[in-house]
Amino acid sequence: MSKLKRTHTCGQLRTKDIKTTVNLSGWVNSVRDHGGLIFIDLRDRYGITQVVFNPDKGKNLYETAQQLRHEYVVAIQGTVSARPAGTTNPNLDTGEIEVYADTIEILNKSETPPFEIGNESNVSLELRLKHRYLDLRRPIMQKRLIFRHKICQTIREYFDRLNFVDIETPVLTKSTPEGARDYLVPSRINLGKFYALPQSPQLFKQILMVAGYDRYFQIVRCFRDEDLRAQRQPEFTQMDMEMSFVDENDIIQVIEGLMAIIFNKVIGKKIATPFPRISYKEAMTSYGCDAPDLRFGMKIKDISDIVKTSSFKVFLDVIKSGGQIRGLNATGCSNYSRKDIDDLTAFVGQFGAKGLAWFKVEETGLTSSITKFFSAEILEKIKQRMDAKSGDLLLFVADKPKVVCQSLAQLRLHLGHKNKLIDANTFNFSWVVDFPLFDYNEDLKRYEALHHPFTSPHPDNLPFMEERPLEVKARAYDLVLNGVELGGGSIRIHTPEVQKRVFRLLGINDENAYKKFGFLLDALKYGAPPHGGIALGIDRMVTLLSQLDDIREVIAFPKTQKATCLMTDAPSEVDAEQLKELGIRLV
RNA sequence: GGGGCCGUAGCUCAAUUGGUUAGAGUACCAGACUGUCGAUCUGGAUGUUGCGGGUUCGAGUCCCGUCGGCCUCGCCA
């Protein structure tokens, strides 16, 4: 260890410290060698301080200073001095002062780094991930991870104050059907058997409610073995909580309070609560998705009823086969060229839409290559339905509801960004509520849980659950921020009877249910209190609050799109001996 | 599993319809310089054009394959 134990950080010294002797430690950010005078910027995570080396202070000192290069780690001792008039640096918090070095110790040298440790990063993500220790050394990355820490710390303080208990749940647990693909871990002691890494601690937190803990929370890692996206990593972090003796509003209130305090303490902003609530049906009808971005309008409208009397075969065929015609008003976009519209058509094509019908709104009325199929009366009705004014462009998709929803939802976002309708500085929270409990999977020909199989049906719907499953409402709620699902939760089923009924509807017979979820069904038998909770994606939350769009920017060691770690080279092959012990043979 | 974009000096990029010795900025190295702070000035060194094959008189450029990174559809209760 250095004899020069640091007394201050590199972001700390001010004019009031002038004439004191200090020790600083840090990384050499830059060297400016004037021959007879050497300046270095010394950096640590608190800031940058300029250190001056003068040959008058001794030959050894000066010769050592001449050896300094980028990212050398040094400790110096020196005197804090006012900078001469005209040489202060307003860009540095410490720019009024500098430290005249008396002693320097090179604690470690550094090879020339593969990229510069500045705030500007033109460097490829690939290189950043490979040398993540250097990337994370950049002030901007340190700021992001510290920001994340502060959010997590605020969450912990908040829940602690409300009497929640932080309880750890297993990482080696049981593989369950449905949901995402599990990451599996072979068991050496039980050859041929596997643990799964948790997709979430869902069942454990419910069990904790049965155990009487009443209020649980955890900031916890979750794992899902699915393909990656900019917003999706195979391992991610959730703020997970569960409460007993509550209804939807209790959970919602606690989370609104949490978000308000995070904004207040971490960002210094006030946000209005309660957050608006929008039904799943309204979200799908007006925005085409269950996590609508409410920062701008451009709502989706249905014109199926209007155009069913037209002679446009494309529309008529779609209606006949149970589809719909919906569209949106691209306000002020009637100047779009043929190519612009072709591009939009290609855009919706990737979501399954076979085409994009369009009308330009002009003073004289609607113009398009397909107006001849529509009577003047129909065109007028379309214009009214779409609130169209001269200069607008109306875009329609005709297809199955699912395709229409997805392509219009994406088109709406696309146009919102393209036409700069979205204020990037607003934080728009909302709750999406009144979800259906079940969804019908056409491919598998069976019902699936929209949320998860432990979500409570609305009690009023229990009598007809088996007869009309799709009409059953779930006691579920999703928190949406700027069009991104931050998380979701529900009031859970707390009786074995209802839980078994839901399993049966999902095609899980009692025998299988016991095999997979017996511990839950058993637990529900022994006095399970009514309970519910929610989980929020921390990575997404931090990303959005940092106004970034890639969760890798707020995760210290993220994986690539192929789910590898470029720094450690995980996953990697293992010794034949290791496989043998596990009873595993590669095929 | 499908579709798309990208890969040239340590880094970020350029290189005309395929054309002669693959360049620039920056970083790096050396020298000069006592008030710089993106220091400056002078000089220098730096390439398996990801890899393999093909087309061609000639390939960084075109084609096929492969590896890697990214975006996306499916997938993600």
Ranges of each domain in chain A:
15-108, 296-422
- pLDDT of res. A339: 85
- pLDDT of res. A535: 98
The reply to whether the CB atom of residue A484 sits less than 7 A from any atom in nucleic acid chain B is: no
* Contact present, A352 and A403 (Cβ < 8 Å): yes
Pick from A532, A521, A493: nearest CA to A240: A532
Burial A409-435 (b: 16+ CB within 10 A, else e): bbbbbebbeeeebbeeeebbbbbbbbb
Q: For the residues A116-127, what does the mean pLDDT come to?
A: 86
- Per-residue pLDDT at A119 exceeds 80: no
Q: Which nucleotides of B are covered by protein (CB under 7 A)?
A: 1-2, 10-13, 26-29, 32-40, 68-77
- Per-residue pLDDT at A321 exceeds 80: yes
When mean pLDDT is compared across A50-54, A145-149, A409-413, A422-426, the lowest value belongs to: A422-426
- pLDDT of res. A180: 93
Q: How far is the CA of A316 from the C1' of B66 (A)?
A: 49
Cα separation, A2 vs A268, in Å, equals: 40
**Minimum-distance nucleotide, CA of A130 to C1':** B69
Instruction: Report, in angstroms and rounded to the nearest whole number, the Rg of chain A calculated over CA atoms.
Output: 30
Cα separation, A219 vs A224, in Å, equals: 17
Pick from A444, A427, A436: nearest CA to A484: A427
Mean pLDDT score of chain A: 95
- pLDDT of res. A120: 72
Q: How far is the CA of A226 from the C1' of B68 (A)?
A: 20
Token duo for residue A468: 């009309």
SS3 A373: helix
- pLDDT of res. A122: 81
The reply to whether the CB atom of residue A63 sits less than 7 A from any atom in nucleic acid chain B is: no
pLDDT tens for residues A459-470?
999 999 999 999
H or E element at residue A538: helix A538-545
Half-sphere exposure of A245 toward its Cβ, with a 13 Å CA cutoff?
5
Length of chain A: 587
The reply to whether the CB atom of residue A238 sits less than 7 A from any atom in nucleic acid chain B is: no
When mean pLDDT is compared across A122-126, A187-191, A247-251, the lowest value belongs to: A122-126
Q: How far is the CA of A227 from the C1' of B74 (A)?
A: 10
The model's confidence at residue A300, banded by pLDDT at 50, 70 and 90, is very high
The reply to whether the CB atom of residue A93 sits less than 7 A from any atom in nucleic acid chain B is: no
User: Treating both helix axes as pointing N-terminal to C-terminal, what angle do A510-525 and A202-210 enclose, rounded to 10 degrees?
Assistant: 40
With helix as H, strand as E and coil as C, how does A287-312 read?
HCCCCCCCCCCCCCEECHHHHCCCCC
The model's confidence at residue A443, banded by pLDDT at 50, 70 and 90, is confident
Pick from A216, A209, A222: nearest CA to A159: A216
What architecture (CATH level 2) is domain A15-108? Answer: Beta Barrel (2.40)
The reply to whether the CB atom of residue A387 sits less than 7 A from any atom in nucleic acid chain B is: no
The CA-CA-CA angle for residues A348, A350, A354, to 5°, reads 60
The model's confidence at residue A1, banded by pLDDT at 50, 70 and 90, is low
pLDDT tens for residues A492-520?
999 999 999 999 999 999 999 999 999 99
Q: How far is the CA of A130 from the C1' of B20 (A)?
A: 39
The model's confidence at residue A218, banded by pLDDT at 50, 70 and 90, is very high
**Minimum-distance nucleotide, CA of A455 to C1':** B77
Pick from A420, A424, A421, A412: nearest CA to A347: A412
Q: Is 0.80 topped by the overall pTM?
A: yes
Do A15-108 and A296-422 fold alike per CATH? no
What architecture (CATH level 2) is domain A296-422? Answer: 2-Layer Sandwich (3.30)
Give percent of chain A above pLDDT 90.
94
Token duo for residue A269: 């902003």
Cα separation, A514 vs A472, in Å, equals: 24
The reply to whether the CB atom of residue A90 sits less than 7 A from any atom in nucleic acid chain B is: no
**Minimum-distance nucleotide, CA of A84 to C1':** B35
ipTM for this prediction? 0.93
Half-sphere exposure of A300 toward its Cβ, with a 13 Å CA cutoff?
33
When mean pLDDT is compared across A32-46, A89-103, A238-252, A436-450, the lowest value belongs to: A436-450
Which amino acid appears at position A1 of this protein? M
* Contact present, A471 and A464 (Cβ < 8 Å): yes
- CB contact set of A214 (below 8 Å; sequence gap of 6+): A163, A165, A243, A244, A245
- pLDDT of res. A553: 96
The residue assigned the tokens 């640091």 is: A6
